[in-house]
Amino acid sequence: MRDLIPKDKHDLDSIWRLQQHSAEEISEILPELFEWLQDINWPVANELTKVLPKYGDILIPHIEKALRSGDPQWQFSLLQYLIRELSKESSLLVRDTIQQIADNPTPSEILEEIHLLARETLQIIGKK
């Protein structure tokens, strides 16, 4: 399965191959896949936000970890792209963490306006 981890930011072939596997098959490489979401400007990051949502609830611990990381770029990628593509059921599982960012942001989350993006994402989740 390690061959499904992108080799570089342009390795879109690995993303295509990833789609051919089940959640159980890719579960061991999810931490490495989530690292690619740290910068949405990377071509593989954008594609991952379209592919990963099909894996549903298995993503939740990784989403939670990234949202709590304090890395505004990573938080942005998840709030603006990945979480909005999740099913309603899966997105509701991370609602409390998003609500915490919206209600009690850190200074860096305020500076980068992540708390505002969290509020917007909560509204979108609520409309699903």
Q: Which pair of tokens denotes residue 42?
A: 């990377």
Thinking of the domain 2-127, which architecture would CATH place it in?
Alpha Horseshoe (1.25)
* Dist. CA 91–CA 88, nearest whole Å: 5
* Dist. CA 18–CA 4, nearest whole Å: 6
Number of neighbouring beta carbons within 10 Å of residue 66: 22
Query: The pTM is what?
Result: 0.94
Number of neighbouring beta carbons within 10 Å of residue 81: 18
pLDDT in tens, the chain (128 residues): 899 999 999 999 999 999 999 999 999 999 999 999 999 999 999 999 999 999 999 999 999 999 999 999 999 999 999 999 999 999 999 999 999 999 999 999 999 999 999 999 999 999 97
* Residue ranges covered by each domain of the chain: 2-127
